Amino acid sequence: MRHQSPRIAVVGSLNMDLVLRCQQLPQRGETVMGNGVEQIPGGKGGNQATAAARLGTRVAMIGCVGDDVFGAALRSSLQREGIDVTNLKAVPDTVSGMALITVEESGQNTIVVEPGANALLSPADVQAAEQVIAAADVLLLQLEVPLLTSVAAVEIARKHGVRVQLNPAPAPEALPPELWQSDWLCPNETEAARLTGQPICSPAAAATAALELARRAAGNVLITLGENGLLLVTKGQCWQAGVFRIQPVDATAAGDACVAAWAVAIAEGRSIQDCIRFAAAAGAMTVSRHGASTSLPWRAEVERLLGTQPEAGQLRIATAHEDKIEGSS
């Protein structure tokens, strides 16, 4: 099958998620009983590619899987979403990436990842996909593959004038200079704290971190804050966007949905206000359901939520100089 040029090219990881559910997450050394297990395609790259495809845009996936049963299942899951997997490489004699996810009834989770074939995605693999990246509107990156591979992808995008959006997850101790120059830096609050070296224990601290990241990066930062919404820095101004009212079920992949929705909206040339609402709504829909890729919403669902809660996700000016973020309409 021939594919049209993607609006979004994703360079990233694919994992098979083994999701264990329990009443409460175990403490260190504690054993708790589970109440269900699922096998769900995941990985930040795969999740974000799937989310973008469901939100109505063309997507190409660049990554590695093993030559095992999980690898075949991961490839098939992307194909079912209409994602171009021409540059998804199967590595011989290698296991696919895997994640063990424990989810408690409140929706909070813990995740342990075995990278497997993801660790073998090389700069050469990315260079082989240069034309796919060059044809995209946005290159979407995470950091569950080698840093040098992500750097190579950024260099290709810069060569062809393609916008770069980086979700620095997991956040490394030192981010290469090339990655700081991404057009959009999109961490969650934990990753933002690691990148700045400062704890984020309040909305004001989050705003401080967002402004610091903007000074060090290309100037555009989006921080996902879970139940506290989103923080956006662009053109030197820090903004806060409120949350949508939903019943939380499972926070797995909510950040991936939000980041992917932001990339889709940017690729479509939407206003910043529309981008932030679209991203916040996609994240909220994901939290309302179980699983990783299984919880990612379709565009019609996001649009419906936007229509039923027109006041949610509105931007207001945020300040880092008070005990709480203050807003003005």
Q: Under DSSP, is residue 101 helix (H, G, I), strand (E, B) or coil?
A: strand
Q: What is the pLDDT of residues 316-325, one digit of tens each?
A: 776 554 333 3
Q: What is the pLDDT of residues 56-94, one digit of tens each?
A: 999 999 999 999 999 999 999 999 999 999 999 999 999
Q: Which residue in 315, 172, 171, 158 sits closest to 234, CA to CA?
A: 315
pLDDT at 1: 39
How high is the mean pLDDT of the chain?
A: 90
Q: What is the DSSP letter of 313?
A: T
Residue owning tokens 């708790």 = 32
Q: What is the DSSP letter of 145?
A: S
Task: Report d(CA 17, CA 310) in Å as an integer.
Answer: 34
Q: Is the dihedral of CA 198, 199, 200, 204 positive or negative?
A: negative
Could you tell me the pTM of the whole model?
A: 0.88
pLDDT grade, residue 10 (50/70/90)? very high
Residue owning tokens 């096998």 = 39
Contacts of residue 311, Cβ cutoff 8 Å, sequence gap at least 6: none
Active site residues: 256
CATH number of 8-317: 3.40.1190.20
| Helix, strand, coil distribution of the chain in percent, nearest 5 | 40, 25, 40
Mean local confidence (pLDDT), 224-229? 85
Q: Are 213 and 235 in contact (CB under 8 A)?
A: no
pLDDT at 6: 66
**CA 17: distance to chain centroid?**
16
**Domain residue spans of the chain:** 8-317
Mean local confidence (pLDDT), 298-323? 79
Whether the per-residue pLDDT at 326 is higher than 70: the answer is: no
Task: Report d(CA 139, CA 154) in Å as an integer.
Answer: 8
Q: Inter-axis angle of helices 44-54 and 254-267, to 10 degrees?
A: 50
Q: What is the pLDDT of residues 127-143, one digit of tens each?
A: 999 999 999 999 999 99
pLDDT at 322: 38
